[in-house]
Amino acid sequence: MKNLFLLLILILSVLFISCENEKEDPELPDDLVINTNYTEVDSVFKSTVLFGGEIKTLPVNVTNHGFVYGINTAPVIEEDSIISLGVPDFEGDFFEIKKGFEPGVSYYARAFVATGNKVYYGSTLSFSMSLIKNIEPVGAGRLDTITIYGINFLEDSTKNIIKFNNSEFKIISFSQNQYGSEIKAVVAEETSLGEKTVTVNVNETKSEYGKPFIVDPYIKIPGIDGNKQEIMLSFSIDSLFYILTENTNELYVFNEISQTWTKLSDFPGSKREGSTVFTFNNKAYMGLGYLKQTYFKDFYEYNPETNTWTKINDFPGTGRFNAQTFTLNNKGYVLIGRSFIGDTLFFKDMYSYDPENDIWERLNDIPFNPWNYSSGSTFIINNKAYLLIDLVSGVFFRSYDQANDHWDGKSYPNSIASGDLSIVINNECYKFFTMRNYKKYDSNTWEEYFYKHREIWVKKGASNGKIGVIAENTQNMWIFNPN
């Protein structure tokens, strides 16, 4: 009987404790409003939080106020950590900084106001301190090196696991100073494009960086040894990429596997700038351009199999620079262009070239007023040629009907189409002005892409149909792979 009595007392005690633990917060009076907020302090590499609260309509019998925090989802002053600020002197906002939070741990916090034997709480906020404090730059291409700043990283790089979603970084260096840790890592080549969530796992403590990181389609490649050149032509033959520096007449080819540039035979014509090039049947055809007051009409054929140049018939029109070209159904086309002398400063004529017979033919003029066009490019999609140029009056965008020697109107989504570079990959055109943004066209619609961390002006480029190579100059070049 005695044992049964003791068991009954024990059961009642457990029930009493359970009821005490499950008791609800006292309901806030109508005239008492408590708000809670917080800000993670990023200015120094410390686990620091600025807590904020607000009291509206201050009761007369307040004995204390402040914040309570911990790992419980609804922290209370009896069980969790307290930031006690005493009796408030006024209604309104109150703040307090607290250090020492562990990275990767989920914390919960709320403001409180104590009045006599009751404690009232504001809304509950959750937060966790990221192991990652900053990433520079804010975006990068695959195989680029980035710097990750944080706290509590380990010198043993095998214990720091950093990922873009499911792609893991390759850590190449670690350093530490009074502000925290610094890791340099390489973006994995298999990482997909777009916004990524960066996570770090240190000794099984996982933390997520609070800002998205952008993976862009640019992969840096080695430049050409020697002086930096900006006056150049680029083209692709049989999946290889070529650069010709016009003011030195040097021709180079890029080996994607060895990541090296090899010098080939020099261009035999005069040095110049503003020349043009098209390719046909695994050969390149280069000509036109100017040097001071001389405007060239000569053209040369380059054969990569023999690494030789051969003079062909001169261009039959007026010498010029910045002419546009394309290749369509066994013929090369040269059209429009500019000059600094004579009565005609802007051209609208067009010619075809038959490489098999070395014959030029005059075609119908381009149906536009060419006065003061600032930039332009051509491209081929689905065996159809397109011309896109900027005019004072707006954008001129047309597709070419080869059978009828006629240009058909197309729509363009903007009033300007800045940029001289368009390349085609997987039957879609990519038009560049800078690496910051480009437009994609699939023969029906245009779509724009932005990468705010890139500001470089793209001047030249070429495509082998699967990837492109784009260049600011002969020492700053990238593979462009939007796939």
Residue 104 pLDDT level (bands cut at 50, 70, 90): low
The Cα 337–Cα 324 span in angstroms is 7
Decide if 322 contacts 375 (C-beta within 8 A): no
Residue 363 · residue 405 · CB < 8 Å: yes
So what's the pLDDT on residue 11? 24
5 sits in which H/E element: helix 2-21
Query: Of the given ranges (69-78, 129-138, 152-161), which has the lowest mean pLDDT?
Result: 152-161
- The CATH code belonging to domain 31-128 is 2.60.40.10
The pLDDT, as a whole number, for residue 2 is 37
How far is residue 134 from each of residues 130, 188, 198, 411, 455, measured CA to CA in Å?
10, 19, 11, 43, 21
Q: What confidence tens digit (pLDDT) does each residue in 317-354 have? A: 999 999 999 999 999 999 999 988 877 788 999 999 99
228's tokens: 């930096």
Per-residue pLDDT averaged across 15-44, rounded?
A: 56
Confidence of residue 6 (pLDDT cuts 50, 70, 90): very low
Q: Residue 16 above 50 pLDDT?
A: no
Query: What is the SS3 assignment for 341?
Result: coil
Q: Label residue 285 by pLDDT band (50, 70, 90).
A: very high
pLDDT tens figures, 425-441: 999 999 998 888 899 99
- Residue 4's φ and ψ, nearest 5 degrees, are -65, -40
Q: What is the DSSP letter of 273?
A: B
At 356-379, the pLDDT tens digits run 999 999 999 999 877 767 778 999
Those residues whose C-beta lies under 8 Å from the C-beta of residue 163, and which sit 6 or more positions away, are: 169, 198, 199, 200, 201
Q: What is the pLDDT of residues 170-188, one digit of tens each?
A: 888 888 877 678 889 999 8
Please report, for the chain, the start and end positions of each structural domain, with discontinuous segments joined by +: 31-128, 132-215, 218-480
Q: Does domain 132-215 have CATH number 3.40.50.720?
A: no
Supply the CATH classification number for the domain 218-480. 2.120.10.80
Same fold, 31-128 and 132-215: yes
Residue 14 has pLDDT above 70, yes or no: no
The size of the chain, in residues, is 483
Give exposure, 364-401, as e/b (b: 16+ Cβ within 10 Å). Answer: eebebebeebeebbbbbbeeebbbbbbbeeebbbbbbe
Is the model's pLDDT at 20 over the cut of 60? no
What whole-number percentage of the chain has pLDDT above 90? 54
Supply the pLDDT for residue 169: 83
Q: Tokens 């990429």 — which residue?
A: 241
